Amino acid sequence: MGREKSHEIFARSQQLMPGGVNSPARAFGAVGGEPVVMQRGEGAYLFDVDGNRYIDYIGSWGPMILGHTHPKVTHAIESAVKRGTSFGAPTEAENTLAELIINAVPSIEKLRLVNSGTEATMSAIRLARGYTGRDVIVKFAGNYHGHVDSLLVAAGSAAATLGVPNSPGVTAGTTKDTLVLAYNDVTGVETAFENYGAQIAGVILEPIVGNMGTVIPSPEFLTSLRKLTSQHNALLIFDEVMTGFRVAFGGAQSLNGITPDLTTLGKIVGGGMPIGAYGGKAEIMNHVMPAGQVFQAGTLSGNPIATAAGIATLQTLRDENPYPRLEQLSARLAEGLGDAANSAGVPHTVTRVGSMLTLFFNESPVDNWQVAAKCDTARFGKYFWGLMDRGVYMPCSQYEALFVSAAHTEADIDETIDAAKAALAIS
Ligand SMILES: *Cc1c(COP(=O)(O)O)cnc(C)c1O
């Protein structure tokens, strides 16, 4: 597969941008080699600048659940552009998107639109602190909540400790009120509430993790979080930036039956345009300015183009209900990848919820970061490039979930499984 043009363009990118990219996940750092420069997307496929076609399982890291250039989404964006790109004033479309989200996500009564998932989680924890008058936020190792300073601790790496920053530039002062615990560790959470209960403003978590690969919470873990936060008057915050409208139309909370106090959204909610949202009980959301005192603002928040793309995406998901088909295609893929690893004699575990899945090169079930960290990432790198060379574009890290979209067909899935068989046989 020729990638000469990609190589030339990326050489220039490296002179212009740090590492040649505008977000580190794209840089192929974990698998070696250079990223491929993309030219266009169509349905389940991406085409690079050298004309190679790839079956895409990244889906822009989550948003593209309908596939690329979906006609309804494209049309909505085109129509919105003609009416103007930003007004900095209320529009009716913001109500439409808010209503779609509120009707879909059980715990959200009121919400605020922002411009990214990072902004959503940053604002949600500010609100939790402002609302409770407390400082401490509990997060879990291996959960990623965007590049918010105080949450950039054990964010998909590093061990569970009390607030040790893992990016230079994030000060110890900023993270001293962040308590990092192990995912799925009920005793750890109980102990934290025993010791710090009166200081804890909120607990934030991915209610199904995607950012250390796909990891599923135990029902006891979720139940204990709900119980302990309620007992101690702390807020439970579900970061559904990835899982919202992905694992089900109502997000992870509609599957696990736990009602958080606040929920953060992004990715699918913007249909491929930059967006984020946070919402929850009206009584809590009414503390956000100008209804309340907790400051949060945005020049482009509720942007007409992003809002139009989000509305078209959510309406299509609601009306066409692709979730049963996504379930079927994803189950087929999970089984096929597991079989491919079995026939190659490769120790592995496959974890899947709906159209989010990870083939871990680890024979133990992965339920927290400590276990995830033991995956054979060298083998993952070979597997990744074996797939690339066969026209399959998977996340370039063992610690990311892959996504199936409504545009994938059974033929795409079967072609992917064949590619995985070949890639695993030689790696
Ligand atoms: C992607 C992601 C974020 C960050 O969203 P951005 O739009 O990249 O800022 C936050 N939380 C979770 C769970 C995510 O998957």
Report yes or no on whether pTM surpasses 0.75: yes
pLDDT on residue 162: 46
Q: Please state, in angstroms and as integers, the Cα–Cα distance from residue 26 to each residue in 75, 104, 367, 406, following that order.
A: 28, 31, 26, 23
Q: With H, G, I as helix, E, B as strand and everything else as coil, classify residue 347.
A: coil
Whether 291 contacts 297, CB under 8 Å: no
Ligand 1 centroid – CA 254 distance (Å): 20
CA-proximal residue: ligand 1, atom 15 (nearest): 242
Query: CA-to-CA distance for 79 and 91, rounded, in angstroms?
Result: 15
Residue 169: which residues within 8 A CB-CB, separation 6 or more? Answer: none
323 is known as an active-site residue:
no
- Residue written as tokens 């100008």? 290
Q: Report which ligand 1 atom has the smallest distance to the Cα of 276.
A: 7
pLDDT on residue 156: 56
- Cβ–ligand 1 distance for 207 under 6 Å, the answer no
183 is known as an active-site residue:
no
Ligand 1 centroid – CA 51 distance (Å): 30
Walking along the chain (427 residues) 10 residues at a time, the average pLDDT comes out as 96 97 91 95 98 98 98 98 98 98 97 98 98 97 92 60 67 89 97 96 98 96 98 98 98 96 98 98 98 98 98 98 98 98 96 98 93 92 96 95 98 98 88
Query: CA-to-CA distance for 271 and 262, rounded, in angstroms?
Result: 22
Q: What's the length of the chain?
A: 427
Query: CA-to-CA distance for 414 and 349, rounded, in angstroms?
Result: 20
Q: Walk across the sheet containing 53-56 and list its strands.
A: 38-42, 45-48, 53-56, 392-393
**Ordered DSSP codes for 69-93:** T-HHHHHHHHHHHHH-S--SS--HH
Candidate list 56, 267, 399, 421, residue with the active-site label: 267
267 is known as an active-site residue:
yes
pLDDT on residue 172: 83
Ligand 1 centroid – CA 146 distance (Å): 5
**Ordered DSSP codes for 319-340:** HH--HHHHHHHHHHHHHHHHHH
Ligand 1 centroid – CA 5 distance (Å): 31
pLDDT on residue 427: 62
Domains of the chain: 4-65+322-426 (3.90.1150.10), 71-319 (3.40.640.10)
Whether 276 contacts 265, CB under 8 Å: yes
Q: Walk across the sheet containing 276-280 and list its strands.
A: 110-114, 276-280, 262-266, 235-239, 200-205, 136-140, 178-181
Query: CA-to-CA distance for 236 and 226, rounded, in angstroms?
Result: 7
Q: Residue 70 burial by CB count (10 A; 0-12/13-18/19+): exposed, middle or buried?
A: buried
